[in-house]
Structure 1
């Protein structure tokens, strides 16, 4: 009986290891050349860093090692690569008082040879949650980045998982989309 259990554990471990192994987030996360984002929000919130700090740890937890990131152009040592590109950020200064905030990214999962295995687009919205009226734009956008991290965790693990684009909150219809107000964004 012990031999049977040992054989089962070894074969399970071998299958998990042969499955392609780790996935690492390529850093820095970049902006698409035509990305729509208010300059002040881009500068103050540093969405690319926010996504790195939300997605990297999720991948590290899946990998059970490291920090889940790898610098662009580095040898992946056989790991898959997750490449994110920010295509749009909805948000102006004023926190929840200036409407909902959203981050849209394109995600590519590449194998160790650099071939794209899968591609998806993720758009996550937030009004700031409970006490949203007391939060700044950057902290509300960080909620969207956290949701993107959770989505990507499942998407990377499960090839059959389809990320469903969230509909914009009703408040987004009236949200301003012009330049940021002169006030501080955070």
Structure 2
């Protein structure tokens, strides 16, 4: 076998092996609340896109680092690493005239198979920024969740995945 052909074959095998071991991170396409009863009801009703915005930010930040991401309706730990993230709190005080005081918090578990690799809470506070103009509460909270997406992506990348982790056990029929 000529050297060039042999080199190409070796590189192809290495690429195939790497692709087989690189599983896509799963992220919920719409991140829900950990406990909706503790969130101000007007924020839940009016700012109903925050979960999608947080998901999009997290997926985009992970993708920037070269990680494959799947935004899914339901997480499946058996299919690969899972970023199980929930909005744990939203605080919306103030307004555009007296100043915003907003906060968004999330709780994240990074799971692989049946194992929780790590878990952590994150919070971002914002006042809307200097000279922010007359922005609404949802716009200011959106800024907080977009930054939280970056925070969670950086943290996720810092947690090593387990090689050959056992997939989550499937539910057995009674």
The answer, yes or no, to whether TM exceeds 0.5 is yes
Corresponding residue of 2:128: 128
* 1:51 and 2:54 are equivalent in the alignment: yes
Query: In 1, distance between residues paired with 2:145 and 2:14?
Result: 33
Q: Could you say which structure has the larger radius of gyration?
A: 2
Cα distance change on mapping 1:12 and 1:130 into 2, 3 Å: farther
Number of residue equivalences: 157
Question: Is the 1:30–1:85 contact (alpha carbons within 8 Å) kept by the matching residues of 2?
Answer: yes
Q: 1:63 to 1:90 in 2, by over 3 A?
A: same
Give me the whole-angstrom Cα distance separating, in 2, the residues matched to 1:121 and 1:12.
37
Structure 1, unmatched stretches of 5+, are 161-186
Find the residue that maps to 1:100 and give its secondary structure.
Answer: strand
**Equivalent pair of 1:24/1:59 in contact (CA under 8 Å):** no
SS at match of 1:123: strand
User: Do the aligned residues in 2 keep the contact of 1:126 with 1:140 (CA within 8 Å)?
Assistant: yes
Alpha-carbon separation, structure 2, partners of 1:69 and 1:63: 15
What are the equivalent positions in structure 2 for 1:29-40 lying under 5 Å apart?
A: 29-33=31-35, 36-40=38-42
Residues 18 and 62 (structure 1 numbering): CA distance in 2 closer, same or farther, change over 3 Å?
farther
1:99 aligns with 100
Q: Is the 8 A contact 1:83 1:108 kept in 2?
A: yes
Q: Once superposed, what is the RMSD of the aligned Cα atoms?
A: 3.3
Alignment map for 1:69-84 (pairs within 5 Å):
69-73=71-75, 75=76, 78-84=79-85
Distance 1:135 1:158, change over 3 A: same
- In 2, distance between residues paired with 1:20 and 1:125? 35
Check 1:65–1:118 CA distance in 2 against 1; reply closer, same or farther (3 A cut): closer
TM-score of the aligned structures, taking structure 1 as reference length: 0.66
Pairing 1:103-118 to 2, within 5 Å after superposition: 103-111=104-112, 113-118=113-118
TM normalised by structure 2 equals 0.70
Instruction: Provide structure 2 residue ranges, at least 5 long, that are not aligned to the other structure.
Output: 161-174
Q: Which residue of 1 aligns with 2:91?
A: 90
